[in-house]
């Protein structure tokens, strides 16, 4: 394990030291690219009923500078990626912090005027196998680093990805620290624990994972992953995506099944969960209509890493994640592409989620609780002219439940507005 722990701290700098100036001038520089993303973000979650905090409401400006190198020539190629993040406060106050947009003092809740960080990722490639070490943002069924605020969540560690076998993508890795979306400090890895599900103070120095995606056919992709957060929980994921023609349109079926249990001393408490979800979407021209169902069984909620996005079929819901013990959730979603009405770049989405059979501690409402959410989203990307590729997105959610007032999730109306523009520097 000691050798593994040194990988993420030495690979990035070691990559630079191993590359000669001549090789830098070849594939490393020639195939590199750099972008600067400007993101203006307004977040407003207005709580209903009695609450110690009536709202979380902030407005911020973010900048994300990304450099991606090519690889040096030869059997073994070396490269280096870099990411610079900067968040600036436009409007906030101690009574409205907690949106995830801005860092703040945990004692006074005073928001910081700015926060920033730099991440480096060294990489080595042989054929179609790549090893990365340093700053990582996994996008896997057992861990998805959240990009859903002003700046993205990141992790520290090493990840191996191989596509040397036709139709098979293998992933394996090890992480020891996480950096939340509104933070500049790496910290030990913890569990999300809304509604007192787990001990959110329990920490781990090791999240390991392995698995892969196999393209069985042009229509069907199979997935399996195993992950362990040392001394806290272990998790297996089995799923598939099937996307094929049906009549004049196409039907996409997405099945996800997470099986979770305790690992070692179970520092965060008991973990016993199976989460099954299926989402089927039929697309015809500009229209897409989806119907989904998710059910949790076992004695606890589904565990996932704090700040990350749980990769279940309720993914993308704004105010809740619908992962309470015993919960059963139905959802319907409709998407429309306004290009069919001669407005290219404009898209809309409507979604409704309804959940029941929730089991909570008696202090939070007890058995047979329910929750629901209605979402609406409009997005537009400017197609031409001076502001070409400027992207606007407006999202509104109405969330309601019958939990006790002291529960983590409370009735709210939520509004998110963000304007993004990515400039290619070279």
Ordered by start, the domain boundaries in the chain are: 1-126
Torsion, Cα 363 411 181 301, to 10 degrees, reads: 40
SS (H, E, C) the chain: CHHHHHHHHHHHHHHHHHCCHHHHHHHHHHCCEEEEEEEEEEEEEEECCCCCCCEEEEEEEEEEEEEECCCCCCCEEEEEEEEEEEEEEEECCCCCCCCCCCCECCCCCCECCEEEEEEEEEEEEECCEEEEEEEECCEECCEECCCCCCCCCEEEEEEEEECCCCCEEEEEEEEEEEECCCCCCCECECECCHHHCCCCCCCECCEEEEEEEEECCCCEEEEEEEEEECCCEEEEEEEEEEEEEECCEEEEEEEEEEEEEECCCCCCCCCEEEEEEEEEEEEECCEEEEEEEEEEECCCCCCCECCCCCCCCCCCCCCCCCCCCCCEEEEEEEEEEHHHHCCCCEEEEEEEEEEEEECCCHHHCCCCEEEEEEEEEEEEECCCCCCCCCEEEEEEEEEEECCCCCCCCCCEEEEEEEEEEEEECC
**pLDDT at site 189:** 98
* For residues 143-169, average pLDDT: 97
**pLDDT of 299:** 96
Segment 314-350, tens digit of pLDDT: 998 999 999 999 999 999 999 999 999 999 999 999 9
Give the list of residues 6+ apart from residue 384 with CB closer than 8 angstroms, or none.
none
Model pLDDT, residue 18: 52
pLDDT at 8 over 80: no
- How many Cβ atoms from other residues are within 10 Å of residue 96's Cβ? 19
174: pLDDT strictly greater than 90: yes
pLDDT at 276 over 80: yes
> Confidence class of residue 5 from pLDDT cuts 50, 70 and 90?
very low
Instruction: Calculate the dihedral angle through the C-alpha atoms of 118, 124, 125, 130, rounding to the nearest 10 degrees.
Output: -60
Cα 364 to Cα 143, 321, 374, distances in angstroms = 28, 17, 23
Residue 1 predicted with pLDDT over 50:
no
50 band by pLDDT with thresholds 50, 70 and 90: confident
Half-sphere exposure of 184 (CA within 13 A, CB side): 15
Q: Are 190 and 306 in contact (CB under 8 A)?
A: yes
User: With the C-alpha atoms ordered 295, 300, 304, 307, is the resulting torsion angle positive or negative?
Assistant: positive
d(CA 375, CA 121): 36
User: How far is residue 390's CA from residue 46's CA, in Å, rounded to a whole number?
Assistant: 28
- Is 241 in contact with 220 (CB distance < 8 Å)? yes
Rounded-to-integer distance, Cα 411 and Cα 395, Å: 17
pLDDT band at 52 (very low <50, low <70, confident <90, very high): confident
- Strands 76-91 and 114-126, sheet pairing: antiparallel
Structure tokens at 416: 């998110």
User: pLDDT tier at 170 (50, 70, 90 boundaries)?
Assistant: very high
| pLDDT (average), residues 155-175 | 98
Place of tokens 């191993």: 18
pTM for this predicted structure: 0.92
CB hemisphere CA count around 373 (13 angstroms): 26
pLDDT in tens, 181-232: 999 899 999 999 999 899 999 999 999 999 999 999 999 999 999 999 999 9
CA 338 → CA 114, 389, 391, distances in Å?
38, 17, 15
Task: Give the bridge partners for 115, in sequence order.
Answer: 87
Averaged confidence pLDDT in the chain: 93
pLDDT at 25 over 80: no
Whether 134 shows a pLDDT value over 70: the answer reads yes
**Residue 14: its pLDDT value, please?**
55
Rounded to whole angstroms, the Cα distance separating 205 from 171 reads: 20
User: In the predicted model, is pLDDT for residue 7 greater than 80?
Assistant: no
Under 8 Å between Cβ of 382 and 390? yes
First vs last C-alpha separation in the chain: 40
pLDDT in the model for residue 22: 56
Residue 2's pLDDT is: 42
Place of tokens 């968040």: 87
Query: Rounded to an integer, what distance in angstroms lies between the CA atom of residue 291 and that of residue 280?
Result: 6
Look at residue 16 in the predicted model and tell me its pLDDT.
52
What is the C-alpha separation between 103 and 296, in angstroms, rounded? 33
240-266 pLDDT, tens digit each: 999 999 999 999 999 999 999 999 999
Cα-based angle 12, 82, 116 (whole degrees, multiple of 5): 115
């Amino acid at each position: 394990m000691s050798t593994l722990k040194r990988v993420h701290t030495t690979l990035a700098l070691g990559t630079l030291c191993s590359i000669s100036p001549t090789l830098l001038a070849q594939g490393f520089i020639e195939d590199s690219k750099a972008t600067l993303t400007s993101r203006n973000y307004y977040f407003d979650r207005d709580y209903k009923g009695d609450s110690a905090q009536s709202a979380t409401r902030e407005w911020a400006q973010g900048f994300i500078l990304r450099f991606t190198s090519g690889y040096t020539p030869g059997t073994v190629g070396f490269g280096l990626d870099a990411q610079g993040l900067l968040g600036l406060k436009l409007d906030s106050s101690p009574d409205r912090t907690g949106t995830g947009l801005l860092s703040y003092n945990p004692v006074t809740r005073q928001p910081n005027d700015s926060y920033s960080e730099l991440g480096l990722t060294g990489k080595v490639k042989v054929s179609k196998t790549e090893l990365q070490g340093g700053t990582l943002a996994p996008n896997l069924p057992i861990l998805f680093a959240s990009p859903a605020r002003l700046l993205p969540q990141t992790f520290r560690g090493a990840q191996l990805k191989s596509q040397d076998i036709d139709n098979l993508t293998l992933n394996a890795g090890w992480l020891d620290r996480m950096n939340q979306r509104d933070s500049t400090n790496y910290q030990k890895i913890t569990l999300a624990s809304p509604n007192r599900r787990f001990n959110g103070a329990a920490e781990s120095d090791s999240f390991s994972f392995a698995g892969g995606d196999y393209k069985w056919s042009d229509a069907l992709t199979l997935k399996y992953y195993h992950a362990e957060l040392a001394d806290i929980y272990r998790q297996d994921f089995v799923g598939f995506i099937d996307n094929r023609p049906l009549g004049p349109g196409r039907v996409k079926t997405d099945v996800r099944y997470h099986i979770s249990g305790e690992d070692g001393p179970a520092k965060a408490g008991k973990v016993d969960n199976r989460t099954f979800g299926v989402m089927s979407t039929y697309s015809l021209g500009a229209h897409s209509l989806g119907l989904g169902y998710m059910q949790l069984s076992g004695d606890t909620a589904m565990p996932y890493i704090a700040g990350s996005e749980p990769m279940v079929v309720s993914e993308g819901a704004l105010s809740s994640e619908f992962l309470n013990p015993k919960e059963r959730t139905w959802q319907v979603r409709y998407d429309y592409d306004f290009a069919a009405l001669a407005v290219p770049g404009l898209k809309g989405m409507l979604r409704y989620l309804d959940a029941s059979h929730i089991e909570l501690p008696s202090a939070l409402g007890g058995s047979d609780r329910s929750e629901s959410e209605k979402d609406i989203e409009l997005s537009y990307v400017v197609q031409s002219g001076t502001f070409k590729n400027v992207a606007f997105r407006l999202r509104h959610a109405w969330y309601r439940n019958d939990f006790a007032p002291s529960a983590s999730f409370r009735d709210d109306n939520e509004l998110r507005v963000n304007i993004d523009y990515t400039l290619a520097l070279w």
